[in-house]
Structure 1
Amino acid sequence: MSSLEKKVTVSSSDGEVFELSLTVAQQSQTLNRMIEDDYCANKDCIPLPKITGKILAMVVEYCKKHALTSSLRELKAFDDEFIKVDMDTLCDLILAADYLCIKGLAVLTSLSMSSSIINKTLPELCQTFNIDNLTPEEFEQIRRENH
């Protein structure tokens, strides 16, 4: 990142601050629109209240890699390692990708989610998502609606 390149500062819901190059920030359609609308002109930092520092750090890492790497093979290897996360982190990444409108990250996380739940039974899905407070009636209703 050249010292002359414009930078954008964002902050997470828990107060972590990240400085991004314009090229990296533009990986997000949401941030790109804010930049184009000159939202950053009067602000030192763009608050991202729906994303924790842990998840924002991962999103920034993803955006940096995808902004600065042209090798498809290298990006595929990066994505394959990047997406090896637990279910809670995966859900948070899906929400962050949606909130920030990062299409590639949204596709990557959604495909990972779908492959991790495909062909699971309702009890297995409940276990995967830590849902243990369904009544037998609710459980039976869900089963009927989805068969």
Structure 2
Amino acid sequence: MSKNMLVLKTSDGESFEVEEAVALQSQTIAHMIEDDCADNGIPLANVTSKILPKVIEYCKKHADGESSTEEELKTWDKKFVDIDNSTIFDLILAANYLNIPGLLDLTCQTIADQIAACKDADEIRAKYGIENDFTPEEEETVRNENQWAFE
């Protein structure tokens, strides 16, 4: 029995052939199929050829999730997001565009956990390359207005 295959076209022109069951993890792709927009390949304007294989890897694992226990999936997910932040941010954008709630939740939670592990705003700024655009006086004013958060 052959499986239905779809062609996904990335924003940088690459094409990837995937099983329909895997692609249907994306609600965006599911809607395109429903609207008969999948005949000549499905264009993914906001997903690059660097990120789509990671998205497909996640979707494959979760499409046949019945073959894995919940604990095995959690362990797999944890390893899956053990990657550089640049890739995680690209996955967040792709998961949001493709409307893959599980992947979006996983990647956003990963960043949230990293931020929560930071001791202060300076550490967060250093970790994510964020420039502090407050003057020392403005920063002091904000700290005083939000003193309850620093207790």
Q: Report the TM-score when normalising by structure 1.
A: 0.85
Secondary structure of the 1:20 match is strand
**Counterpart in 1 of 2:149?**
none
**Counterpart in 2 of 1:130?**
129
Indicate whether 1:101 and 2:99 are aligned.
Answer: yes
Deviation at 1:73, TM superposition (A): 2.8
Deviation at 1:80, TM superposition (A): 1.3
After TM superposition, the structure 1 stretch with the greater mean CA deviation from structure 2, 72-81 or 103-112, is 72-81
Alpha-carbon contact 1:122-1:143 (below 8 Å) kept: no
**Counterpart in 2 of 1:59?**
55
Pairwise mapping of residues 37-76 of structure 1 onto structure 2 (< 5 A)?
A: 37-41=35-39, 44-70=40-66, 71=68, 72-76=70-74
Q: Deviations over 1:66-125 (max 9, x none)?
A: 102312233222111101011111111111111101011111111111100015322212
Alpha-carbon contact 1:24-1:67 (below 8 Å) kept: yes
Deviation at 1:135, TM superposition (A): 3.6
C-alpha change, 1:99 and 1:138, in structure 2 (3 Å) is farther
Q: Which runs of 4+ in 1 moved over 2 A?
A: 134-143
Identity %: 41
Gaps of 5+ in 1: none
Q: Note the aligned Cα RMSD (angstroms).
A: 2.4
Aligned residues: 142
Q: Report the TM-score when normalising by structure 2.
A: 0.82
Q: Distance in 2 between matches of 1:142 and 1:38?
A: 57
Q: Deviations over 1:120-144 (max 9, x none)?
A: 3222121121124x44439945981
Gaps of 5+ in 2: 147-151
Deviation at 1:32, TM superposition (A): 0.4
Q: Distance in 2 between matches of 1:118 and 1:53?
A: 31
